[in-house]
Amino acid sequence: MGEMDDINWIGHASFLLRINGKKVYIDPFDLREVKGHADLILITHPHFDHLHPDSIRKIADKDTEIFVPRDSTDKIPVGKVTGVEPNKRYSALGIRFSTMPAYNNVKERLDKHPRSNGWVGYVIELDGGRLLYHTGDTDFIDEMRGLRVDIALLPMSGTYTMDVNDAIEAAKSMVLKQAIPMHYKAVLGKEKSDAAERLFKSSLKSAVLLKEIQEPRYSF
């Protein structure tokens, strides 16, 4: 299996990982082209484009392990639910992961993802010991500085999260091999290509673009 073969970008902030023969979904949303049982689901926060009950029902059953911030455990419609909080370590089905804080620190969007809510990103151990960081919806925060991971999935839409310039700076602040943009096409619309071009024209040599399994049909 190639280095990126086990990382599938469904679209927006949704990903499907294959770890130790298990299917791990992060923030499954508006699933149309993706089917199949989820062994483990990780939810970063309760906004509808990240915690989407209809999508969870499509892939989960009573045995699916689902991790979600503590304030949102009652929103999960099926599965074995565990509440999480930032800066903790967890494991399920032999898969190890930890939580990072995810919040806004830019004045005009402090109300979108307040730090006090305890919402999260996840650092997940992939096969071979590689570490993947899904930031959740966040700005460029101090907790990212010096973080050692192999892969970082970074939003770059602005409005609700860091924009492309901050995503570049966030990636440069970490020790990583690959920076993969997410959570921007549905928000930026026609400007999405400009953002991607700015990312790849920057001095960020670790930037990698994955192709989505499905094109977005929502705009935010």
Asked if residue 184 is part of any domain, the answer here is: yes
Q: How far is CA 126 from CA 55, 151, 167, 187, in A?
A: 24, 10, 23, 29
In a domain, 219, yes or no: no
> Which pLDDT does position 180 carry in this prediction?
96
CATH number at residue 183: 3.60.15.10
In a domain, 128, yes or no: yes
CB-count exposure of residue 39 (10 Å: 0-12, 13-18, 19+): buried
Residue 18 falls inside a structural domain: yes
59 domain-assigned: yes
132's tokens: 């993947």
**Can you tell me the mean pLDDT for 148-155?**
98
Q: Which tokens go with 137? A: 């919806």
pLDDT of residue 2 exceeding 70: no
Q: Is residue 208 part of a domain?
A: no
180-220 residue pLDDT tens: 999 999 888 888 888 889 888 888 889 998 999 998 787 78
Q: Tens digits of per-residue pLDDT, 52-95?
A: 999 999 999 999 999 999 999 999 999 999 999 999 999 999 99
Looking at residue 217, what is its pLDDT? 83
Host domain of residue 54: 7-201
Structure tokens at 111: 């109300």
Residue 9: φ, ψ to 5°: -90, 110
The number of folded domains in the chain is 1
**Segment among 155-159, 172-176, 194-198 with least mean pLDDT:** 194-198
Domain membership flag for residue 93? yes
Give a yes or no: residue 1 inside a domain.
Answer: no
pLDDT tens readout for residues 16-33: 999 999 999 999 999 998
